[in-house]
Amino acid sequence: MRAGSCDCHTLTIFHRKVPHIIGSITRTRIVSIGNLEGYMPKIMVVDDEKEYTTLYKDYLTLVGFEAIEENESWRVMEHAHATMPDLFILDLMMPEPDGFKLCRMLRADPVFKRTPIIIITALNGMDSKMVAMGAGANDYITKPFLIEDLKSRINFLLEKASKTSSVQP
């Protein structure tokens, strides 16, 4: 394999059980990874279903991010302070605290006040989206979705956050 190329796979995510998650697989090439040369942004993936956190972690690692899994939403704040992620991916439908409450908790913490948060959920109603965005989410993705879209949304939010943090004291 040539330097700078990557043998990667494109996955389609569905909200059904994990054996049905992979909808299509094609060969693709990763052109750019992350925003900084040699730096792997940390992404904390929070979902009470281990199959999803493992799937997201595997994909994120494949495309150049350091992925951190957390399946117990009540542990997120402690785990986040220990690992200092650059971005969070949260499910909404989890045992307490659910994704809405967890999003509010992260926004209330001065350390994570400006850390990007992406919600990934099967809830596709406008009410859920409005509540999540009101709680502080930066983006809202409903299942099913193309996993490639996740990478581009992460890169967009990380770039936006880096520009914001360079301007803010």
Q: What is the pLDDT of residue 17?
A: 38
pLDDT in tens, 70-90: 999 999 999 999 999 999 999
Q: What is the pLDDT of residue 24?
A: 33
Distance between CA atoms of residues 109 and 124, nearest Å? 28
What pLDDT band is residue 69 in, cutting at 50, 70 and 90?
very high
Amino acid 62 reads: L
What residues have CB less than 8 Å from 151, skipping those under 6 apart? 59, 60, 63
The token pair at 112 is 């994570």
What residues have CB less than 8 Å from 128, skipping those under 6 apart? 92, 121
Mean pLDDT taken over the chain: 81
Backbone angles phi, psi at 47, to 5 degrees: -155, 140
Residue 118 CB-density burial (10 A; 0-12 exposed, 13-18 middle, 19+ buried)? buried
Stated pTM of the model = 0.78
Distance between CA atoms of residues 117 and 15, nearest Å? 20
- Give me the architecture of the 8-167 domain, per CATH: 3-Layer(aba) Sandwich (3.40)
Assess whether pLDDT exceeds 60 at residue 3.
no
Assess whether pLDDT exceeds 70 at residue 169.
no
Rounded to 5°, angle at Cα 111 from 66 and 109: 120
% of the chain beyond a pLDDT of 90: 70
Q: Average pLDDT for residues 95-103, to the nearest whole number?
A: 96
The token pair at 57 is 């972690």
pLDDT in tens, 14-63: 333 333 333 332 223 333 334 445 689 999 999 999 999 999 999 999 99
Asked if residues 41 and 158 have their Cβ atoms less than 8 Å apart, the reply is yes
Q: How many residues does the chain have?
A: 169
Q: Average pLDDT for residues 103-120, to the nearest whole number?
A: 97
Distance between CA atoms of residues 61 and 91, nearest Å? 19
